Amino acid sequence: MKTRKPDSQSRARTCSLMQMCAYDASADSSAEFPDRASMMEVRLQAQEDEITLLKSSLADALRRIRIHDQVLGARKGPNLGVIS
Q: Greater confidence, 44 or 12?
A: 44
Question: Sign of torsion, CA 21 24 25 28?
Answer: negative
Report the mean per-residue pLDDT for the chain.
76
> Could you report the per-residue pLDDT of 20-48, keeping only the tens digit for each?
655 554 555 555 557 999 999 999 999 99
Q: What is the pLDDT of residue 25?
A: 46
Q: Is the pLDDT of residue 5 over 90?
A: no
Contacts of residue 32, Cβ cutoff 8 Å, sequence gap at least 6 = 20, 23
pTM score of the predicted model: 0.49
Question: Given pLDDT bands bounded at 50, 70 and 90, which one contains residue 73?
Answer: confident
How many angstroms separate the CA atoms of 79 and 65, rounded?
21
Report, as an integer, the average pLDDT of 60-82: 83
